[in-house]
């Protein structure tokens, strides 16, 4: 049994990177060389990801803190909102950015993205009964399901005030126009 163990250990060592010449034991690491880990080259550094995550969490926290606030045409908050008043208020509170005053303005001034690029915190736009085929409503993406290509969003509904809906809800599925990302 002891011989079998020693044989297995020798076999493992002989197959190591050192034995195969993949590692030079005499080479010292270059002090200026920075290791790229875990897809940093695609997504950025862990610090960047953590900062982006924290900003999104704070944005969502601000948005959710107004759940149930009533709808009021022209309302800019914090006790009553219309749709663009809600989105601009949330962004102003958490990022100190002016994203636009109306839903049409927010659609025009922010970065166009495709539906498959959606992330939490992005703006989504819809037509409304009064806007015809143009932009008439805006909300903030809460969650995205990349498999079904659907999303949930928080917005100021004329009937329910600040509420959450799904892109699959019949009132919104057929009225979706597009999405925008706020440049920070």
38, 50, 79, 137: the catalytic one is 137
38, 50, 79, 149: the catalytic one is 149
83, 110, 155, 165: the catalytic one is 83
Is 137 an annotated catalytic residue?
yes
- Quick one: tokens of 134? 């143009």
Residues in the chain: 184
Contact 107, 180 (CB under 8 A): yes
Q: Is 137 helix (H, G, I), strand (E, B) or coil?
A: strand
What b/e sequence results for 32-53 when a residue is b if at least 16 CB atoms lie within 10 Å of its CB, and e otherwise? eeeeeeeeeeeeeeeeeeeeee
For tokens 């704070």, name the residue.
58
- Quick one: tokens of 95? 């990022």
Say how many C-beta atoms besides its own lie within 10 A of residue 129's C-beta.
9
Is 83 an annotated catalytic residue?
yes
Q: Just list the catalytic residues.
A: 83, 137, 149
């Amino acid at each position: 049994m002891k011989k079998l163990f020693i044989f297995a250990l020798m076999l493992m060592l002989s197959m190591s990177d050192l034995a195969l010449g993949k590692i030079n034991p005499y080479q010292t690491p270059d002090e200026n060389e920075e290791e790229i880990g875990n897809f940093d080259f695609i997504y950025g550094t862990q610090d960047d990801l953590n900062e982006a995550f924290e900003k999104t969490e704070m944005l969502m926290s601000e948005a959710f803190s107004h759940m149930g606030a009533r709808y009021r045409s022209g309302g800019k908050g914090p006790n009553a909102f219309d749709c663009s008043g809600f989105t601009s208020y949330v962004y102003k509170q958490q990022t100190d950015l002016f994203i636009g005053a109306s839903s049409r303005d927010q659609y025009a001034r922010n970065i166009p993205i495709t539906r498959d690029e959606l992330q939490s915190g992005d703006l989504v736009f819809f037509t409304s009964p009064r806007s015809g085929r143009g932009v008439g409503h805006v909300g903030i993406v809460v969650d995205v399901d990349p498999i079904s290509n659907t999303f949930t969003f928080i917005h100021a509904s004329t009937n329910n005030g600040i509420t959450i809906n799904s892109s699959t809800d019949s009132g919104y599925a057929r009225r979706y126009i597009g999405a925008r990302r706020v440049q920070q």
